[in-house]
Amino acid sequence: MASSLAIAGGVGASTAFMAWAVRGRSSAVFGPSRWRGRRDRAAIALTFDDGPSETTPAILEILAQYGIPATFFQCGANVERLPEIARAVRTAGHEIGNHTHTHAMLCLRAPEFIENELRRAQEAIAIHTGALPAWFRAPFGVRWFGVGAAQRRLGLAGVMWTVIGYDWTLKAEAVARRLDTRVSNGAILCLHDGRELRSRPDAGVTVEAVRRVAPMLLERGYQFETVSRLLCPTN
């Protein structure tokens, strides 16, 4: 009886461990990954996933208005669909990261599939924007065997987030409130300027959330930095 309980406990613990390893924002089990910057500087990073999309220019406009640099984790397929918008992100001085080519769920995939997803995105971004990403963010935050090796071969480092905005499901004021109440020194905030590979996604909530939260966070004394700057402040 005691031993079967111990076994059951072991299975439960290992299932919980795997769930954290695959999806936990602080997990680096499947490759080096960062999820926040230093706590002794009032600096934060605003990040956007799933772009570029038709919504991206509206976000660029707000960021320009406040002089805020951000980091955009682009999908290669979206870059190929909207190369001029992808390029405009770079031209505006923002950092570009890799968010795979097709926004694939990497869980249970072969290492070759995973590396191909990262490599195709890296190539599309380099060809169309001239930027070579240094950071990789896994779609859905899901990492798997092979991500670490693919990152290493492509010169990428993994990055998750400190606070996620749920801008694909909440209303703009709730997203802004969520970011404003959970932000802290070194926080990496995650929003979405696209919706996976959708064409003309309805990302109005994200635009409105940025419009609300940018002045709120500036007012509180936070300095916005790109992910590279936040995580490697000597750069």
Q: How wide is the angle at C-alpha 62 spanned by C-alphas 92 and 40, nearest 5°?
A: 80
Tokens of 143: 């990492």
Among 25, 34, 50, 225, binds Zn ion (CB under 5 A): 50
SS3 content of the chain, % helix, strand, coil (to 5): 45, 15, 40
Cα gap 209→29, rounded to integer Å: 33
CB 89 within 8 A of CB 129: yes
Closest-approach residue to Zn ion (CB): 49
Nearer Cβ to Zn ion (147/222): 147
Site string for Zn ion, 128-147 (x = CB under 5 A): -----------x--------
Q: Which of 132, 54, 151 is nearest to 90 (CA)?
A: 132
Cα gap 140→211, rounded to integer Å: 25
Tokens of 146: 């092979």
CB 195 within 8 A of CB 203: yes
Residue 186 interacting with Zn ion (CB under 5 A): no
Nearer Cβ to Zn ion (31/139): 139
- Minimal distance in Å, beta carbon 122 to Zn ion? 16
- Active-site position among 101, 103, 128, 192: 192
- Binding part of the chain for Zn ion, among 41-49, 121-129, 151-159, 180-188 by CB under 5 A, reads 41-49
Give bridge partners of residue 221 from the DSSP assignment. none
- Binding part of the chain for Zn ion, among 8-16, 44-52, 152-160, 227-235 by CB under 5 A, reads 44-52
Tokens of 11: 């299975």
Binding residues with Zn ion: total (CB under 5 A): 3
Among 22, 45, 47, 49, binds Zn ion (CB under 5 A): 49
Residue 49 falls in the annotated catalytic set: yes
- Active-site position among 49, 50, 167, 193: 49
Residue 193 falls in the annotated catalytic set: no
Q: What residue ranges bind Zn ion (CB under 5 A)? A: 49-50, 139
The residues annotated with a catalytic role in the active site are 49, 192
